[in-house]
């Protein structure tokens, strides 16, 4: 199984077959509009502008499962992201990434990766938040917070998982390694 075996729903409600992205490297990210990590949209857009012609697609999946930080309709979320951050990469319908209602793509991503820990200055705070939501958070692949990123190679294989606290330069270096 690969990322290209899944179908998802675009922000406008149309079904998208991820097989349409075969041959491209993907950066799949669950996002939020009202999160401390929301400014990462700027860095993601900069990466997209720099690397899209080399074969990168960033797939943005808004999610409201973490402290209700993504309120609003799909259209309101899209308007916010394009207006505030100028995003031009594909944005999808708001989804669940964990639990019974998680979309199949995210069930596959979390079943095939491990949580490797938070990095940087936010590590202690994020550990406390994650532990409050899931006492066994260190032992499962569930998404811990907004802006978790998955790098997918051109064949649809998961190459790496980055938590929201990861340095974007590390994420970019990993993406460049699969381009």
Enzyme catalytic residues: 35
The H-or-E segment that residue 16 falls in is: strand 15-17
Tell me which residue has tokens 């330069």.
169
Q: Which of left, alpha, beta for 14 (phi over 0: left; psi -120 to 50: alpha)?
A: beta
Structure tokens at 33: 């509009």
Angle (CA) 102-106-107 rounded to 5° is: 70
CA dist., res. 174 & res. 179, Å (int): 9
Angle at 163 between CA 70 and CA 179, to 5 degrees: 105
């Amino acid at each position: 199984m690969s990322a290209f075996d899944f179908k998802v729903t675009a922000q406008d409600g149309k079904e998208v077959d991820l097989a349409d992205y075969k041959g491209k490297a993907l950066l799949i990210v669950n996002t939020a509009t009202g999160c401390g990590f929301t400014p990462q949209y700027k860095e993601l857009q900069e990466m997209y502008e720099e690397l899209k012609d080399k074969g990168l697609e960033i797939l943005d999946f808004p999610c409201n499962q973490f402290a209700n930080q993504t309120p609003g309709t799909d259209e309101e979320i899209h308007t916010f992201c394009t207006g505030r951050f100028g995003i031009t990469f594909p944005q999808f319908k708001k989804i669940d990434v964990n639990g019974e209602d998680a979309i199949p793509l995210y069930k596959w991503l979390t079943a095939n990766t491990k949580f490797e820990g938070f990095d940087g200055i936010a590590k202690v705070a994020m550990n406390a938040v994650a532990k409050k939501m899931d006492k066994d958070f260190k032992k499962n692949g569930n998404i811990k917070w907004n802006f978790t990123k998955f790098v997918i190679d051109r064949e649809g294989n998961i190459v790496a998982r980055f938590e929201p606290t990861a340095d974007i330069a590390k994420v970019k270096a990993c993406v460049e390694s699969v381009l």
